[in-house]
A and B are shown apart, each in its own frame.
Chain A
Amino acid sequence: MEMVDRYIYAVIQKLPHTQRKDIANELHGLIEDMLEERVGRESLKASDVEEVLLELGSPRKLADKYRGAKKYLIGPELFDTYILILKIVLIVVGASIGVGFLIQTILNPVSILDHFIEMIVSLVTGLPIAFGWTTYSFAMGELVGIKQRDLQKQEWKPSDLPPIPDEKRQIKRGESIVGIVIYAIIIVFLAFSSEYFGIWVFHDEFSGIVPFLKS
């Protein structure tokens, strides 16, 4: 029955989160019904399971039928992840620009108005850029995924099914989020605040920075 679990996992993995459990339960029932009709009360053979799965067809095709044949820039397989990453990226970019404003204001409170205008300009240009690049990357990912699907034209076999990943080995969502946040902060800092990376010169009080990077 492990083959059945792998099959169902391969199908629901390509469907939106909200429908996964229900469809998995329904497919379990269906496959058991089909097996029972095939072998009756006799003991199950692995070949019976394979035949039933072959009758149902490749998991990708079945998932496509559940989704309906629609065209997407970013399909449901990627959409949940896309929204998650987009939120993180926008929050981090926005927050970093805000923090940049705070630091500049603390270092040089007299020109707070300049810093404020600078922050608004950074937000207006930075956020759409972040949004655009994130969307672009996912759209490209979707496109490459579709191309790969078209390449795999040969007949599907149950033995192609990948194993269900071990719970412990799956990369935790939290870990990925922390990683993305840290990288995004570093990038925003490099992009918008490079003038602060350098030798801070103090003569009695703070008097300027000799930057490492020239922007």
Chain B
Amino acid sequence: MSNANEHLDKILLELRRGTISIGVLSQLYEPQYGYSLVTMLSEKGIHVEPGTLYPLLRRFEKQGLLVSKWDTNEARPRKYYLLSETGKEVFDLLVVEWRSIVASLNHLIENKGDDVDGDG
């Protein structure tokens, strides 16, 4: 059984890596700083390590999907990230893709025995 769990962990890790991007982009219609995003996502059931999220935010910014601004008015300076116009566009397209992946996979999972039955 522990063997199965090990395999599960590995596959889940890969699966999460891709979905985190969508999760992060979805929350950035309003400006957020890194740690507020970590808390926000974990409240909604998506657990992200800060060590993964911070480099990811920076990469999105470099790609032009996010824009950032330092807020130095608060007690501690924070870097806020927000979706750029390109970012919004990319996110909308991603959502469409995501829905179609979910639909296809659901179809596959629910009909997993059909082919065999059909042939027999």
A-side contacts of B64, CB under 8 Å:
none
Does A118 lie at the interface of the complex (its beta carbon under 8 Å from any beta carbon of B)?
no
Chain B, residues 40-81, CB within 8 Å of chain A (1/0): the string is 000000000111101100110000000000100000111100
* CB < 8 Å neighbour of A33 from B35, B49, B51, B58: B35
Q: How far apart sit A30 and B58, CA to CA, in the bound complex (Å)? A: 14
Q: Pick from A54-62, A144-152, A161-169, A193-201 the stretch touching chain B.
A: A54-62
* CB < 8 Å neighbour of A29 from B33, B51, B52: B33
The A contact surface, by secondary structure, is helix
| CB-nearest residue of chain A to B74 | A29
B-side contacts of A68, CB under 8 Å:
55, 59
With an 8 Å Cβ cutoff, the count of chain A residues facing the other chain is 21
* CB < 8 Å neighbour of A65 from B33, B39, B55, B70: B55
Given A23-B58, A29-B78, A66-B58, residue A61 in contact with residue B35 (CB < 8 A): no
The B contact surface, by secondary structure, is helix
A27 B76 Cβ-Cβ under 8 A: no
Q: How far apart sit A68 and B49, CA to CA, in the bound complex (Å)? A: 16
B-side contacts of A57, CB under 8 Å:
49, 51
Interface residues of B toward A: which range?
10 to 19
* CB < 8 Å neighbour of B79 from A29, A37, A55: A29
A27 B54 Cβ-Cβ under 8 A: yes
Q: Name 5 interchain pairs, CB-CB below 8 A, sorted by A.
A: A22-B79, A29-B33, A29-B35, A30-B50, A57-B49
Q: How far apart sit A34 and B59, CA to CA, in the bound complex (Å)? A: 22
